[in-house]
């Protein structure tokens, strides 16, 4: 059914259309007491209405900001829609943020209310509440202790407050939805903060709709699809793909129990579409490669034969060539013996996989494509409401991030910086005009070009290729320009490497800091009968250093001589968000890591 976007021109209106016209359709699956249980769109809407009414009963006014501090779960989206529908602004906070980071966002956003997930998140808020005089109440999703804290309420009791308020204000919630306008501010999303404090990108319904109405068309998502949410909703990528686009398509989604339980939950539920950051696909790829490493010589031979067949079939498909009967027969055998088993890791029903939020290695995309799993790479950022370009069926070019979505223009500046113009561009940064002016620059036609900070180029067919972040480009002492992310992504295709940071600006050669994937390296130590005390001790073992030497030498063969890593050091621990070394989305904060490990970097020159 076509949506009339002249009438349904806001996120609240699109939500309420889905709730009223498809009230009996299943919207959400979640695990309770070990069983997957469903919630219809009607039930989803009723809970969101009660939450919105409870906020109104608490004196919340239009335009006020409300924080959500929680992992991704059904209550997150229910609160989000309750907040947005009454004309308020959602200010998400990553559940992994420290007390100081939570304080910064709750304070900077001017939040007057906070929804928190559990005792752990409540404790963070309690520790800083005396510094946040604007926060009037805290609502907790789970049980908490003690139960009689002043101005702290359970979500259950809060929903009951909303239900009672609704009896005497019967149509207020729906009237506020009807009065919502496309350019009303509906939400913030805070940037990763790789180069300083996070900035609050401001979204309107118009911004979100420009992306959310086009993305399903690009990747062919319909009401019959099924999705699994597991990445943080505080990031625009999951909020767009796992939450907002469902208001347009109506397909159902399961909410994973946690990121750790995600692989098992995906196998249990069998989604047709999954979105993941590159690190998600790197870990799946590493597990598969490790499993093959432990296989017999015969199993390895069958595996590599099947992948070769998958490659031939994939190459034909991309080239638009019809495979001959002999290749089709071999492809069926390859699927039966190997390729369908890879598909079964994702529940067996997977139709396509999306990747975005950071660059991904071409090797990983090729592998999944050869296994018969379509991987579509998209490109966007917080400041563009999540999407600028995307690949789609029949329009993939490995190494590119696809074509611009409808209504989006791209311009490459003289220095290679990518600029974007379209309705998805945010209004600016909340309470930061200086950064807004740097981001959005007049186009001379009454509009603005958004400067992404990324460097890239567009080919003759309009496909966009990303080189790296403009500020991250390394210029060696020999004058060579090096894109570190490409090298880091290549190194992370090793199952043993979890994080990598290339260093070498104004230096004679490149060096690298790496962290080890604990699961894979401890398995290696067990197989090699290496005695060790902890991960830090293991990083110093000669066998581990030799292993990494071999891995990096092999990866260097795929790089130009000036891009190759000459020396490396293994860090004893994973990069830590508590030390501000990585963002909540696991992007490395290069300046912080460089300062923290300057002694190790200096030791390599």
Q: What is the pLDDT of residues 466-477, one digit of tens each?
A: 987 888 888 888
**Predicted pLDDT of residue 193:** 66
Chain-centre distance for alpha carbon 195: 19
**In which band, very low, low, confident or very high, does the pLDDT at 195 lie, cut at 50, 70 and 90?**
low
**Predicted pLDDT of residue 84:** 98
Distance CA 215, CA 204 (A): 17
Rounded to 5 degrees, what are φ and ψ at 49? -65, -40
Q: Which CATH class is domain 11-180?
A: alpha beta
Please answer whether residues 356 and 402 qualify as being in contact, where contact means their C-beta atoms are separated by less than 8 angstroms.
no
Distance CA 133, CA 503 (A): 43
- Per residue, the 3-state secondary structure of 90-135, as one string, reads EEEECCCCCHHHHHHHHHHCCEEEEEECCHHHHHHHHHHHHHCCCC
**Predicted pLDDT of residue 197:** 81
Name 476's bridge partners.
none
- The residue among 381, 422, 428 whose CA lies nearest residue 191 is 381
* C-alpha distances in Å from residue 433, one per residue of 129, 200, 430, 440: 28, 11, 8, 10
Distance CA 586, CA 192 (A): 9
Q: What is the DSSP letter of 256?
A: P
CATH 3.30.300.30 describes domain 473-602: yes
Please tell me whether residue 402 adopts helix, strand or coil conformation.
coil
Q: What is the mean pLDDT of residues 399-428?
A: 94
Q: Which of 15-24, 37-46, 302-311 has the lowest mean pLDDT?
A: 302-311
Distance CA 76, CA 92 (A): 10
DSSP string, 38-72: EEEHHHHHHHHHHHHHHHHHTT--TT-EEEEE--S
Structure tokens at 403: 């074509």
Q: Which of 32-36, 176-180, 530-534 has the highest mean predicted lDDT (pLDDT)?
A: 176-180
**Predicted pLDDT of residue 223:** 95
Please answer whether residues 184 and 204 qualify as being in contact, where contact means their C-beta atoms are separated by less than 8 angstroms.
yes
The domain spans of the chain are 11-180, 273-348+350-378, 473-602
**Predicted pLDDT of residue 1:** 61
Residue 132 has pLDDT above 90, yes or no: yes
Cβ-Cβ contacts under 8 Å for 295 (sequence gap 6 or more): 303
Q: What's the angle, vertex CA 275, arms to CA 372 and CA 370, rounded to 5?
A: 15
- State pTM to two decimals: 0.87
Q: Is 222 exposed, middle or buried (0-12, 13-18, 19+ CB in 10 A)?
A: exposed
* Length, in residues, of the chain: 605
Give 298-331 pLDDT, tens digit per residue: 999 999 999 999 888 888 887 778 888 888 898 8
Residue 475: in which H helix or E strand, if any? Answer: strand 474-475
Chain-centre distance for alpha carbon 401: 15
Give 134-168 pLDDT, tens digit per residue: 999 999 999 999 988 999 999 999 999 999 999 99
Q: What is the DSSP letter of 384?
A: G
Give 82-131 pLDDT, tens digit per residue: 999 999 999 999 998 889 999 999 999 999 999 999 999 999 999 999 99
Q: Is 534 exposed, middle or buried (0-12, 13-18, 19+ CB in 10 A)?
A: exposed
């Amino acid at each position: 059914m076509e949506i009339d976007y002249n009438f349904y021109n806001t996120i609240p209106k699109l939500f309420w259309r889905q709730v009223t016209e498809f009230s009996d359709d299943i919207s959400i699956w979640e695990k309770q007491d070990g069983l997957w249980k469903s919630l219809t769109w009607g039930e989803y809407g009723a809970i969101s209405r009660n939450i919105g009414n409870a906020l109104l009963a608490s004196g919340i006014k239009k335009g006020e900001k409300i924080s959500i501090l929680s992992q991704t779960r059904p209550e997150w989206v229910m609160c989000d829609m309750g907040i947005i529908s009454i004309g308020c602004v959602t200010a998400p906070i990553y559940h992994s943020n420290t007390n100081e980071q939570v304080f910064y966002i709750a304070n900077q956003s001017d939040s007057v209310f906070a929804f928190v997930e559990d005792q752990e998140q409540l404790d963070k808020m309690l520790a800083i509440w005396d510094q946040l005089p604007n926060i009037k109440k805290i609502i907790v999703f789970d049980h908490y202790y003690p139960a009689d804290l002043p101005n702290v309420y359970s979500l259950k009791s809060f929903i009951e407050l909303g239900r009672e308020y609704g009896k005497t204000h019967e149509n207020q919630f729906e009237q506020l939805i009807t009065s919502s306008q496309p350019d009303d501010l509906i939400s913030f999303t805070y940037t990763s903060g790789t180069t300083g404090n996070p900035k609050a990108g401001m979204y309107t319904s118009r911004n979100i709709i420009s992306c959310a109405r086009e993305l399903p068309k690009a990747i062919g998502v319909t009401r019959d699809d099924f999705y699994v949410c597991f990445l943080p909703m505080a990031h625009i990528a999951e909020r767009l793909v796992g939450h907002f686009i469902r208001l347009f398509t109506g397909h159902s989604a399961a909410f994973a129990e946690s990121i750790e339980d995600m692989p098992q939950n995906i196998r249990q539920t069998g989604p047709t579409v999954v979105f993941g950051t590159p690190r998600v696909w790197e870990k799946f790829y590493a597990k598969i490669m490790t499993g093959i490493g432990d296989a017999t010589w015969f199993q390895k031979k069958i595996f590599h034969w099947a992948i070769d067949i998958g490659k031939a079939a994939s190459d034909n498909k991309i080239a638009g060539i019809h495979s001959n009967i002999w290749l089709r027969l071999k492809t069926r055998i390859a699927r039966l013996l190997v390729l369908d088993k890879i598909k079964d890791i994702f529940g067996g029903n997977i139709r396509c996989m999306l990747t975005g939020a950071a660059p991904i290695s071409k090797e990983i995309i090729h592998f999944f494509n050869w296994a018969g799993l379509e991987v579509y790479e998209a490109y966007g950022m917080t400041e563009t409401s999540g999407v600028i370009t995307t690949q789609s069926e029949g329009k993939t070019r490995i190494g590119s991030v696809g074509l611009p979505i409808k209504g989006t223009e791209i311009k490459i500046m003289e220095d290679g910086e990518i600029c974007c113009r379209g309705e998805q561009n945010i209004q600016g940064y909340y309470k930061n005009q200086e950064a807004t002016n740097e981001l959005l620059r007049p186009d001379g036609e009454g509009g603005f070009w958004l400067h992404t900070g990324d460097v890239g180029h567009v080919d003759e067919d309009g496909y966009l290729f990303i080189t790296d972040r403009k500020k991250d480009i390394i210029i060696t002492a020999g004058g060579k320009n090096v894109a570190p992310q490409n090298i880091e992504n290549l190194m992370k295709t090793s199952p043993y490497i979890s994080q990598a940071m290339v260093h070498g600006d104004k230096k004679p050669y490149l060096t690298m800091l790496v962290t080890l994937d604990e699961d894979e390296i401890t398995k290696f130590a067990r197989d090699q009968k290496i005695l060790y005390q902890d991960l830090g001790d293991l990083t110093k073992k000669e066998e581990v250093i030799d292993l990494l030497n071999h891995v990096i030498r092999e990866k260097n063969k795929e790089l130009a001589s000036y891009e190759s890593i000459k020396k490396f050091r293994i860090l004893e621990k994973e990069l830590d968000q508590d030390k501000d070394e990585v963002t909540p989305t696991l992007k490395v904060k290069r300046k912080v890591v460089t300062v923290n490990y300057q002694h190790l970097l200096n030791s390599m020159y």
